[in-house]
Amino acid sequence: MRDTFRFPTTAAALGAVAVVVPLALTGCVAKDSAATTLAVTSTDTECNLDPTTAATGSVGFKVTNNGSKVTEFYVFEGSRVLGEVENIAPGVSGKLTVELVKPGTYEVACKPGMVGTGIRQTITVTGEEKTKNEAPADVEQAKKRYLAFVRQEVANLEAATVTFVDAIKRGDYDKARELFGPTRSYYERIEPVAESFSDLDPKIDMRWDDTADGTERFTGFHRIERYLWPPKADEIGDADGKVSPADAANAKKADTTEEIHKAADELLTNVRALKTEVDKPDFTFDTQLFVQGPKALIDEIAKTKVAGEEDRYSHTDLWDFAANVEGSQRLIGELQPIIKKRDPKLMETITKQFDEINAAIDKLREGTGYVSYDKVDEATRKALSAKIDALSATLSKVPAVVMSK
């Protein structure tokens, strides 16, 4: 914690949030300063680029959604996500600028419906290798402090996952159900960094929607969640937050003790692989991911959790909401001296809005955790949703403020 900013002791929950504008969440530079802009046309079945080549440096992407589903667009370097723009509604365009400083081949993906691995294409970048734009020195120092937090959270995640998996392997499912929410919290607090590992993130945190109705293997926390909280008849349906009929049918067929023990072992293996990656001395993440992280974490709630779809079997969504808010506050805590110096009124507004959300969430505590999300009435969800929307709008100002020199 830095200065007077209060790190959270509580959680967040919210109701329906409409998709409003595309959100460039990670890896892009602050300004649309690209020397080359590639036109991307996303449909429900295709991801077309024109041209498919660019010169090293800042490369822009204008993503037009000509499909019928909300889409996302990603730029990868190997298995790492360099940049993404989310929530591009049908008929709408989104912009993204990424620093591709090394010559070579990069993979990009459109993700109609915001599920699965997306429709992949490649682009070729030529020219001399360049250096990335430098961030202000105080931002780089804050980023180093945050890296230490990320490594500690992943270490905590590994330890908690060991205990969680042990409970499953011993057949102590009551204990496993008790540990499910708290264990996932470590992952949710650092989600923008964790999601930048495009190979590990789906293995750890994929949902049924990412399996293409079971054609891809269902793994990770939610695979185990489904076993611990088998879908009930009144929970099956096609609405948001419901368990789809295909999902429920697959659960009856595939959720055996043997398969869940296997999934638990795989989960621990993948969490340990994540720890190995972030513990590497040369591990780093894009500065834009850092400064946009506070908003990205808040938007995670709006993107995948508002209707209860994230934890649709257990209804432990409030644990995830809490962790996303806590992670966002942690990032703001590191940036607070910079924001306060350059725009003190913005810092006051951020602090006030986090306090309001925390106060609202405190009312949803129950015992050592939170009430089941399916017990949160619509009025309460909408009230929290409005607070989250307001905070997201305020946090959108943070990158420009902290990156100004």
Return the structure tokens found at 171. 């057949």
DSSP H or E segment with residue 82: strand 80-88
Confidence (pLDDT) at 13: 35
Domain boundaries, the chain: 36-126, 137-403
Confidence (pLDDT) at 404: 85
Q: What CA–CA distances, in Å, run from 31 to 97, 212, 213?
A: 8, 36, 39
3-state secondary structure of 214: coil
Return the structure tokens found at 137. 């020195």
Confidence (pLDDT) at 319: 93
- CATH of 137-403 among 3.40.50.970, 2.120.10.30, 2.60.40.10, 1.20.1420.20: 1.20.1420.20
Confidence (pLDDT) at 392: 92
Q: How far apart are CA 209 and CA 194, in angstroms?
A: 19
The class level of CATH for 36-126 reads mainly beta
72 in Cβ contact with 86 (< 8 Å) = yes
DSSP 262-293: HHHHHHHHHHHHHHHHHHSTT----HHHHHHH
List the pLDDT tens digit at each of the 405 positions of the chain: 333 344 444 433 333 333 334 445 444 444 445 678 999 999 999 999 999 999 999 899 999 999 999 899 999 998 888 888 877 889 999 888 888 999 999 999 999 987 778 899 999 999 999 887 778 899 999 999 999 999 999 999 999 999 999 999 999 999 999 999 999 999 999 998 998 998 999 999 999 999 988 999 999 999 999 999 999 999 999 887 899 999 999 999 999 999 999 999 999 999 999 999 999 999 988 888 899 899 989 988 877 677 788 999 999 999 999 999 999 999 999 999 999 999 999 999 999 999 999 888 889 999 999 999 999 998 999 898 889 989 999 999 999 999 987
3-state secondary structure of 338: helix
CB atoms within 10 A of CB 87: 21
Q: Reduced to 3 DSSP states, what percent helix, strand and coil does the chain have, rounded to the nearest 5?
A: 50, 20, 30
Cα maximum dimension of the chain: 60
13 in Cβ contact with 321 (< 8 Å) = yes
Q: How far apart are CA 177 and CA 168, in angstroms?
A: 9
46 in Cβ contact with 108 (< 8 Å) = no
Nearest to 177 by CA among 219, 218, 224: 224
Nearest to 381 by CA among 365, 352, 360: 360
Q: How far apart are CA 210 and CA 117, in angstroms?
A: 7
3-state secondary structure of 153: helix
Confidence (pLDDT) at 163: 98
DSSP type of residue 7:
P
Q: What angle in degrees, to the nearest 10, is found between the helix axes of 317-342 and 137-169?
A: 170
- Nearest 5°: the CA angle 261, 265, 266 is 115
288 in Cβ contact with 27 (< 8 Å) = yes
Q: Please compute, for residue 24, the number of CA atoms within 13 A of its CA located in the half-sphere on the CB side.
A: 22
Confidence (pLDDT) at 7: 41
Confidence (pLDDT) at 33: 58
- Which residue is associated with the tokens 């008929």? 91
pTM of the model: 0.84
Q: How far apart are CA 160 and CA 176, in angstroms?
A: 11
DSSP 296-326: HHHHHHHHHTTTS-TTTTT--HHHHHHHHHH
Handedness of CA 126, 196, 206, 384 (dihedral sign): negative
Q: Please compute, for residue 386, the number of CA atoms within 13 A of its CA located in the half-sphere on the CB side.
A: 7
Return the structure tokens found at 149. 């937090």
Q: How far apart are CA 300 and CA 292, in angstroms?
A: 12
